[in-house]
Structure 1
Amino acid sequence: MDGGSPISDSLPLKAAPPPLMILAYLRVAGHDQGRPKSWPSISEVVEEMKEMCKIGGPMLVVGLIFYGRAAVSMLFLGRLGKHELAGGSLSIGFANITGYSILSGLALGMEPISSQAFGAKRYSLMCLTLQRTILILLVACLPISLLWLKMKPILLLCGQDPIITSVASTYLAFSLPDLFFQAVLHPLRIYLRTQGITRPLTLTAALALVLHIPINLWLVLYMGLGVRGVALSMVVTDFNLVASLLVYLWFCGVCGKGSWEGWSLECLREWRPLLSLAIPSCASVCLEWWWYELMIIFSGLLSNASDAVATMGILLQTTSLVYIFPSSLSLAVSTRIGNELGANRPNRAKVAMFVAVCCAFMTGIMALTFTTTLRNVWGWVFTSDRGIVALTARAMPLVGLCELGNCPQTTGCGVLRGSARPSLGAHINLGSFYVIGMPVALLMGFVANLGFLGLWLGLLAAQGSCALLMMCALAKTDWALQASRARELTGGAVDCKPVRKVVSETTKMSGSNSYKVEVAEMLERAPLISIKVVQPND
C-alpha cells in the first residue's frame, strides 16, 4: 500500500466511477502516518530526549536518595560492631532474595498496563490495575513474612555462624512491617510515573531521607535498640514516605485531575492480564538480583574468602551506585514506550527506543571510565586494608566492562516492559546469567584458578551475552504490531464512524454492495480511519 491521505484529503467520491473497491489502511487519524521509519530525524530525537529527561531526571534523583538511605543504615550497622554489620548485611541479602526482589518484580507487571492505558486515556483501567497490584503484593507479603520468621533455623542448617545468624534474624523480624509498606509504595510509584508525575516522588523521598538520619540517631543511639533500631528506622522511613506521598497527592489534587476514579470492587475481577505480566516480570527481576547474591556466596568459597567477600561487598555497592543511572533510563523509556503504544503512535515508540539505547551505551562508557580511572583510590573509601584495596583495584576495570553491557541490557528490559513483553526479558536473563554466565564463573573462578577475578569474568560473559540478545530482540521489534497488542491489552478502540460514513455514501453512488462484508470484517479487526477509492482491475 502507498501512504494514502486522510479522509479529509481522499479522492472525491463523486469522481470515482463504479464499480468501486475500498482499500482500508491500518492508520489512526492524528497519529503516526505511514510505516515506521528506519531512522528518526534530529528534531524527533531532541524532542524525545526532552520527554525522557522529564521522567528519567527525577527518577535518578529518587534513586540516589534511596541509595543514600541504604548507605546511612549500613553506616549505623558498622558503628554498632563487626557482628552487627555482618548480620545486618546477611539479613539484607536474604531480604533482597526472598522479599524485596519479589515485590519489585511483581509490581513491574502493572507498568505496561498502566503506561499504555494512560496513553489510551483508559484511566479506569489504570485505577483498577493499581488496586489489583496492591492486593497481589499484600498477599505475597504473607508467605514472605512466614519465611523471614523462620530465617534463623534455615541459615543455621546452611552452616552459617550462629552469632551472625542471630543478629540477622533479629533484623528481619523487626523489618516485617516494611514489607507491607513496600507493597503499597511500589505500585503507587509506578502509577504516578507512568503518568509523568514525578515531583511528588522526588519531594517525599527527599523528606524521608532527611528524617532517616535523626530517626536512626534516636532509635539506635538514644534508645539503645541497636540492630533492632536500624531495622525499625527503615520501617519508619518507608512509612513516612508512603504517608507523605498520600498526603501530598490528596492536598495537591494530583489524583483528582482525571486519572483517578476511586476505589472499586471491580478490581476483584479479571486478574489474568495483570498476572500474565507480573509473574514473568518478577522472574526477570529475581533472576538478575539473585545472581549478585550468588556472587557473594561463591566468594566465600575461595581460598582468600575474607578478602574476597569484603571486596565483593565493596564492588556490589559500587555497581548499585552505577546501576541507578541505567535503571532511571529504563524506567523512563518504559513509561515513554507504554504511553506512545497506548496512544497508537508506534513511530514515536520506536524513536523512544532508539534514543534510550543510544543513551544507555553512553552511560556504559561513562561507567567504564569511572571504574578504570578511580580503580586505585576507590577501595580506600571503604576500608584501609591494603589487601582488599589491591583486590578492588584489580577488579574495577572488569566491573566497568560489566556495566558496559549492563546499561543497554537494563534499558532493553525497560523497552520490553513498556511493550508488555516481560516474558522475553525473563528468558534472556535466564539464558544469559545461568546458562552462560554461571558456568563461565565457576570454570574461570575454580577450575582455571583465577579466583575472584574469574567470578567477575563470569558476570562479564553474562552481561555481554544479555546485552547482545537484548539488542537483537529490539532490532526485530515490529512496532505496528506492538501498537496493536497495546490496543488489545487496554481494550482501546478508535472511532470508525468516519469510515463507515464514507462506505455508506460510496455504496449509494455505486449501487454495489459486493465489498460491504469485507470492509465490515476489516473494521472489526482494526481501527481503520484512512481509505482510498480506486478503480478495480479488469
Structure 2
Amino acid sequence: MVGAGLLMYLRSLVSMLFLGRLGRLPLAGGSLALGFANITGYSVLSGLAAGMDPVCGQAFGAGRPSVLAAALRRTVALLLAASVPVALLWVAMRRVLVAAGQDPEVAAAAHEFILFSLPDLAVQSFLHPLRVYLRAQSVTLPLTCAAAAALLLHVPINVFLVRTLQLGIRGVAIGAVWTNVNFLLFLVAYVVSFSPSSGELSFHGNDKAIDDDEEEEMEVEWGRLVRLSVQSCVSVCLEWWWYEIMVLLCGVLADPKAAVAAMGVLIQTTSLLYIFPHALSCAVSTRVGHELGAGRPAGARRAARVGLALGAGLGVAACAWAAAAARGKWARAFTADAGVLRLAAAALPVLGAAELGNCPQTAGGGVLRGSARPGTAARVNAAAFYGVGMPAALALAFWPGRMDFAGMWVGMLAAQLVCAGLMLRAVLRTDWEEQAARARELTGAVDDDDDLKSAAGHADEDKVKAGNGMLVVTVC
C-alpha cells in the first residue's frame, strides 16, 4: 500500500507542480478547488467506500467470497447515487465560494478547475470500492503496478494538455481525471484477466433465483452496509474536512492568495507523510478483519497492538523529516513566490509535531475500521477536531495579536494529540471476544460453527499464498 500511495501522491504532486508553473492565481485556484472537491465530494466517496472494509476483511477471513462480491456491487451503486448531488453542488461552486467571502478571481479559477473534474466522480465511484475489494484479500501488488503504469502516462498527458494544447488550469484538471481512468482500467483488466474460478476476485455473486427469505436477508445486508458506510463517511469526513476547512479559511487571512497557495503546498506535504500511516492503517484494518472473521480474537488483539506501536514509530520519523524540510528547500519545489515560501517555512515544524499524534491515531482508526466500529471513530474525530482543534485554530489565527497562518496549524497539533489519546483509549478497552462474535453476525456465519472452522482454515491457506502479513500489505 505504501508503493501505491507514493505513486498516486506523485501523480497529485505532478498536477500541483504544473499548477505552480502556471502562476500564483492558478495555484491558488487549483488548491481551493481541490479543497472544495475534497470537502463536498472525494471525502464523501472515500468515506462511503470505507464501509466495505470491515465487511470484506471479515468475510475473507471467514471464507465467504460471495459476501465480498455483493459488497463491491452494492458500494459501487451507493457511490454512484451519492455522486449526483455532489456534481450539482460542484456546478454551483463559484457562487458558493463568492458568497462565503472568497476572492472572486481565485473563486473563478477554482470553478474552472472543478468543472473539468466532474467526470472524476464517476471514476472514483468504481475505483474506491475496487481498491478496498482487492486490498481486503491482500491483493496489493496489482494496485502498485496499476498506479505505476498510470503515473508513467500522467506526465506526458499533462505536457500534452497544458503545454501543447495550452489548456492551462483546465488541462491540469483533465489530466488528473484521465490518469484516474487509466488506473481504473488497469485494475479492471487485472480482475478480468486473473480472476480465479473460486470467485474470490470475481465481480459476480450467485445469480440463482432468490426466494422471500433470501430477499429479506439481502435487505438486511444492504442495511448493514449502508449503516457502516454512513458511519465511516462521517468519520472520514470529520477529519478530512478539517484540513480543507483550513484551505477555505486561508481565503480570509491577511494575504489570501499567498495563504491559500502556501496551504496547498503544506497539504501536499502532509499528504506525502500521510501515505505511510494510511498504508499501515489499511494493513491493520485488513489483518484485524481477517482475524475476527476467522474467529481468532487473540490474533486481532495482537495485530491492533503491533499497529499502534508502528504508528508511534512513524510519527517520530515524520516529525524529524518535517523539521529537516523546514530548514531545507522543500517548498521551493512548488513555488518561487517569497510570500508563499515564508508562510510555509513557519508552519512546517508545527506540521511535523502534529504527525506525532496523526500517525498513531491513524493506525488506531484502522483497528476500529477492521472491527466494524466506524461510529466510535466518528465520535473521536468530532471531539478532537471540532471540540478542541477548531476553537484553538480560530482563536490563534484570528484573535488580536494573532498567529495568522501558523495559528491554524497549532490548532491542528492540538487536535491530533487529543485524537491520538482518544483512539488509544478506545483500542485498549476493546473486548475482542465480543468483536469476534459481531464479526460472525456481520458475515452471516453466526449460526454456522462448522462452516466457520472450515472457512478459517481455508482463509489461513489463502493468506499464506497471498503472503498475508501486515508488513507485506503495508509495503505493497
Question: TM-score higher than 0.5 here?
Answer: yes
Matches within 5 A, 1:256-295: 258-260=200-202, 262-263=204-205, 269-270=219-220, 271-295=222-246
Q: 1:185 aligns to what?
A: 127
Change over 3 Å in CA distance of 1:235–1:263 after alignment to 2: farther
Q: Distance in 1 between matches of 2:37 and 2:449?
A: 52
Moved more, 437-446 or 477-486: 437-446
Q: 2:377 aligns to what?
A: 425
Deviation at 1:478, TM superposition (A): 0.6
The answer to whether residue 120 in structure 2 is matched with residue 169 in structure 1 is no
Q: Letter of the aligned partner of 1:213 in structure 2?
A: V
The answer to whether residue 85 in structure 2 is matched with residue 134 in structure 1 is no
Matches within 5 A, 1:335-354: 335-354=286-305
Change over 3 Å in CA distance of 1:231–1:312 after alignment to 2: closer
Deviation at 1:145, TM superposition (A): 1.0
Deviation at 1:291, TM superposition (A): 0.7
Q: 1:311 aligns to what?
A: 262
Q: Name the SS for the 2:125 alignment partner.
A: helix
Does the CA-based 8 Å contact 1:61-1:202 persist in structure 2?
yes
CA offset digits 1:108-142 (Å, max 9, x no partner) = 00110010000001111111111110000010011
Q: Distance in 1 between matches of 2:192 and 2:20?
A: 39
Does the CA-based 8 Å contact 2:46-2:128 persist in structure 1?
yes
Q: Letter of the aligned partner of 1:403 in structure 2?
A: E
Deviation at 1:387, TM superposition (A): 4.9
Deviation at 1:74, TM superposition (A): 1.6
Change over 3 Å in CA distance of 1:255–1:68 after alignment to 2: farther
1:82 to 15, 24, 29: 24
Q: Distance in 1 between matches of 2:321 and 2:425?
A: 28
Change over 3 Å in CA distance of 1:124–1:451 after alignment to 2: same
Change over 3 Å in CA distance of 1:155–1:308 after alignment to 2: closer
The answer to whether residue 329 in structure 2 is matched with residue 382 in structure 1 is no
Deviation at 1:251, TM superposition (A): 1.6
Deviation at 1:307, TM superposition (A): 4.4
Matches within 5 A, 1:13-412: 59-254=1-196, 258-260=200-202, 262-263=204-205, 269-270=219-220, 271-377=222-328, 378-412=330-364
The alignment-based identity, stated in percent, is 50
Q: Letter of the aligned partner of 2:397 in structure 1?
A: G
Q: 2:425 aligns to what?
A: 472
Q: Distance in 1 between matches of 2:354 and 2:102?
A: 30
Q: 1:9 aligns to what?
A: none
Q: 1:452 aligns to what?
A: 405
Q: Name the SS for the 1:315 alignment partner.
A: helix
Change over 3 Å in CA distance of 1:296–1:259 after alignment to 2: closer
Count residues in correspondence: 440
TM-score by length of 2: 0.87
CA offset digits 1:213-252 (Å, max 9, x no partner) = 1111222222233222222222221111111211122122
Q: Name the SS for the 1:262 alignment partner.
A: coil
Does the CA-based 8 Å contact 2:35-2:245 persist in structure 1?
no
Unaligned 5+ residue runs, structure 2?
452-476
CA offset digits 1:132-173 (Å, max 9, x no partner) = 100000100111111111112222322333333333222222
Q: Name the SS for the 2:134 alignment partner.
A: helix
Q: Distance in 2 between matches of 1:415 and 1:489?
A: 16
Deviation at 1:258, TM superposition (A): 4.0
Moved more, 322-331 or 81-90: 81-90
Change over 3 Å in CA distance of 1:245–1:261 after alignment to 2: closer
Q: Name the SS for the 1:133 alignment partner.
A: helix
Does the CA-based 8 Å contact 1:310-1:388 persist in structure 2?
yes
Deviation at 1:263, TM superposition (A): 4.7
Change over 3 Å in CA distance of 1:413–1:453 after alignment to 2: same
Q: Distance in 2 between matches of 1:302 and 1:120?
A: 53
Unaligned 5+ residue runs, structure 1?
1-58, 499-538
Change over 3 Å in CA distance of 1:305–1:160 after alignment to 2: closer
Change over 3 Å in CA distance of 1:225–1:311 after alignment to 2: closer
Does the CA-based 8 Å contact 2:315-2:358 persist in structure 1?
yes
Q: Distance in 2 between matches of 1:255 and 1:192?
A: 16
Q: Letter of the aligned partner of 1:369 in structure 2?
A: A
Deviation at 1:255, TM superposition (A): 7.1
Q: CA RMSD in A?
A: 2.2
Deviation at 1:417, TM superposition (A): 0.3
Q: 1:42 aligns to what?
A: none
Deviation at 1:402, TM superposition (A): 0.3
Q: Distance in 2 between matches of 1:85 and 1:307?
A: 10
1:481 to 414, 434, 443: 434
Q: Distance in 2 between matches of 1:260 and 1:376?
A: 50
Does the CA-based 8 Å contact 1:376-1:390 persist in structure 2?
no
Q: 2:469 aligns to what?
A: none
Q: Name the SS for the 2:326 alignment partner.
A: coil
Q: Letter of the aligned partner of 2:233 in structure 1?
A: C
CA offset digits 1:186-225 (Å, max 9, x no partner) = 0000000000011211111110110111111222222233
Q: Distance in 1 between matches of 2:295 and 2:87?
A: 42
The answer to whether residue 415 in structure 2 is matched with residue 462 in structure 1 is yes
Change over 3 Å in CA distance of 1:460–1:180 after alignment to 2: same
Does the CA-based 8 Å contact 1:152-1:169 persist in structure 2?
yes
CA offset digits 1:254-290 (Å, max 9, x no partner) = 5755453715677974311001100010011111111
Q: Distance in 2 between matches of 1:111 and 1:165?
A: 36
Does the CA-based 8 Å contact 2:20-2:334 persist in structure 1?
no
Matches within 5 A, 1:5-16: none
Q: Letter of the aligned partner of 1:119 in structure 2?
A: G
Q: Name the SS for the 1:374 alignment partner.
A: helix
Q: Distance in 2 between matches of 1:227 and 1:311?
A: 18
Q: Name the SS for the 1:488 alignment partner.
A: helix
Change over 3 Å in CA distance of 1:227–1:456 after alignment to 2: closer
- Structure 1 or 2, whichever has the larger Rg, is 1
1:491 to 425, 435, 444: 444
Does the CA-based 8 Å contact 1:102-1:282 persist in structure 2?
yes
Does the CA-based 8 Å contact 1:124-1:259 persist in structure 2?
no
Deviation at 1:491, TM superposition (A): 1.1
